[in-house]
Amino acid sequence: MTDRALVVVRAGALTTVQDRGRPGHAHLGVPRSGALDPPAAALVNRLAGNSPDAAVLETTLDGCAVSARSAVTVAVGGAPCPVTVGGRPAPWGAPVRVAAGQVLEVGAAVAGVRSYVAFGGGVAVEPVLGSRATDLLSGLGPPPLADGMVLPLGRPAAPLARLDSAPQPAPPAELVLRITLGPREDWFTPQALSDLTTRPYRVSPASNRIGLRTEGVPLERARSGELPSEGMVSGAIQVPPDGLPLIFLADHPTTGGYPVPAVVHPADLAGAAQARPGITLRFVLVRRR
């Protein structure tokens, strides 16, 4: 019987298994989790002949390397990076065949932050609450990759996409996020709300899968004290005591006690996943209809 599995040769700074996540469990304190750049994850799955909900690898900045125990079709997308198979250059953003025993090397991102690697049949680790995603906050799902780890693969179920490559958006040189005010904008001064929507911020190197942290002008509160904990959603802009906006991403806590003056449009969060530390971030106000 063919051993459909991968052996991790180089785990990288942070490589995790991700899929569409586990929505619907916030009442249990479980975040949605899942790929931070869902369009990129869906595209590499399509190139590898998988359904959009198949589990992929999400790398962070410096890629990873795996050895295939059996022949498998692979596609790498998301943050552009060099790709080699058996030591020879291979295309990024297109399906590639990796023979049994060969090493797939996903190199450091030349732009953006997170690359996605799909394998024909998907990464078939055991699902938890209906998802194979690694959740760094709750600890659900498989642990981040470590050298020597073995990852099972599923059986390919669909033909490859009828294309040799696919267009993918470039990672942002400047991150622009559309926001809607609320629910706690009244906790901030008019000047703070003006600063939020007119002054530039920078992406902080302290950002992670839980949230994108910022550097810039602190937001001044109009009220003192703290809120009772209330529900949080992906894209919520929470403002801790230092006054610097924190944008919640896929592994965010389901509740929080710091006020949220605005929420990022869901379609813009994929760009936040690829925003490198130090780039400019601007919030653009979208009025409620």
pLDDT at residue 14 in the model: 98
Composition of the chain by helix, strand, coil, percent to 5 = 10, 30, 60
The CA-based diameter of the chain, rounded to the nearest angstrom, is 67
Q: How confident is the model at residue 170 (pLDDT cuts 50, 70, 90)?
A: confident
Is residue 65 within 8 Å of 103, Cβ to Cβ?
A: yes
Distance of CA 162 to the CA centre of its chain: 26
pTM of the model: 0.95
What structural domains and CATH numbers belong to the chain? 5-152 (no CATH), 175-285 (2.40.100.10)
Q: How far apart are CA 175 and CA 199, in angstroms?
A: 13
Instruction: Give 198-257 pLDDT, tens digit per residue.
Output: 999 999 999 999 999 999 999 999 998 889 999 999 999 999 999 999 999 999 999 999
pLDDT at residue 165 in the model: 60
Tokens representing residue 37 in the block: 């750049």
Give the helix/strand (H/E) hosting 98.
strand 95-98
The type of residue at 135 is D
Residue 285's beta-bridge partner residues? 179
Would you list the DSSP string of 205-232? Answer: TT--SSEEEEESPPPPBSS-S-PPPEE-
